[in-house]
Amino acid sequence: MAEFKTPVKTQTSLKTDDKIVIPPSPFLNRLGYGTGVSVMQLVRSPKAGQIRSPWALKMLNKRVKPNKVYTERLQAEADLLKRMSHPNIVGFRAFSKSKILYLGMEACDLSLGDMIEKRVEEQDCEPFAPWQIVKVALDIGSALDYLHTKMQILHGDMKSYNILVNGNFVICKLCDFGVTLPLDENGVFNKENAGNAVYYGTEAWSAPEVIHGGVITNRTDVWSLGLTFWEMLALAPPHSIDETLDDSVVSDDSMDCFSRFGTVPPIPINICEQRYSAPLTLFYHCTSLTAGDRPSACTLAEVARVCLDNMERD
């Protein structure tokens, strides 16, 4: 997929004359967090009169006891990012094992998960526009295609919080590669090269083959991306609500989201199917219960590109 590759700086580590000073964490702006790690924004001081772009620093969470697993994951993620070059994958900037262990990455505006939370906090109940959902399908589908075919890697934790968005969906980038898994030439989880690694993921976004046991393939990522489209419609994590129920109806089943993991959540009742026909089509195909019926990431991106070209951006 040479058409996706863009030139990047060949520098993959800090030079001795380009040292950075990381202030204490209270003086850093938190961008996000994960299991055992925090992501902070570092605003770098100007150099030679030139303003330098900020970095996102992924660091081990000080509240968590030193853990070899988290350290090894951060090292593995840094090694992987250094080898990747794609416009829809967050860029590598630096990795340091000095006093503070950190992975420096390209900083983006917000994660899609944060954008969803912000809408809820501001009581803006409008779902994202159809073209915005399709743009996520195009950009992240392209990133997954590169990951699956060029790198032969499964992301393993697709969800809104691992998608970064610049501006009004000018560009979307995939991030967080701490739990990736190797794929073979057929796009199947390569257990022989995986060591002790297993599918990690997040249950609410996990495919049926993960929840019920089955063959993990590149289509497992596609399912999770499909549920991310649903997030943009419902403004909620998958399976956290049941839009088929009337507000006056309460039952034990409606509260048991765990039993619904690995299933297709219903479309929220406020979604106009005619207006959202393109995003809904992508959603239904990506969340086919049979993995083989889901599109490849390449096909998803190609269809999304055609849809986007024919859509009005309101």
Query: pTM of the prediction?
Result: 0.83
Annotation marks residue 221 as catalytic: no
- pLDDT at res. 40: 67
Alpha-carbon distance values, 200 to 35, 155, 156, 304 (Å): 12, 10, 7, 28
pLDDT in the model for residue 6: 42
Which residue bears the tokens 């060591």?
195
Distances (CA, A) of 103 to 13, 81, 95: 10, 10, 5
**Predicted pLDDT at 134:** 98
Please say whether the beta carbons of 58 and 46 come within 8 A.
no
Q: Which of 157, 176, 256, 314 is catalytic?
A: 157
Q: What is the pLDDT along the chain (314 residues), one digit of tens a residue?
A: 444 344 444 444 444 334 566 555 544 566 666 666 677 676 665 665 666 667 788 877 666 566 677 788 888 999 999 999 999 999 998 888 777 788 889 888 899 999 999 999 988 789 999 999 999 999 999 999 999 999 999 999 999 999 999 999 999 999 999 899 999 999 999 988 888 888 989 999 999 999 999 999 999 999 999 999 999 999 999 998 764 444 443 444 444 667 889 999 999 999 999 999 999 999 999 999 999 999 999 999 999 999 999 987 76
Residue given tokens 């393939």 in the structure block: 217
The token pair at 234 is 């419902």
Three-state SS annotation for the chain: CHHHCCCCCCCCCCCCCCCCCCCCHHHCEEEEEECCEEEEEECCCCECCECCCCEEEEEECCCCCCCHHHHHHHHHHHHHHHHCCCCCECCEEEEECCCCCEEEEECCCEEHHHHHHHHHHCCCCCCCCHHHHHHHHHHHHHHHHHHHHHCCEECCCCCHHHEEEECCCCEEEECCCCCCEEECCCCEECHHHCCCCCCCCCHHHCCHHHHCCCCCECHHHHHHHHHHHHHHHHCCCCCCCCCCCCCCCCCHHHHCCHHHCCCCCCCCCCCCCCCCHHHHHHHHHHCCCCHHHCCCHHHHHHHHHHHHHCCCCC
Is 56:106 a contact under the CB 8 Å cutoff? yes
Tokens of 254: 């409606």
Nearest C-alpha neighbor of 13 from the set 126, 122, 94, 115: 94
Looking at residue 63, its pLDDT comes to: 63
The first and second tokens of residue 306, run together, are 């055609």
Closest CA to 267 of 291, 283, 251: 283
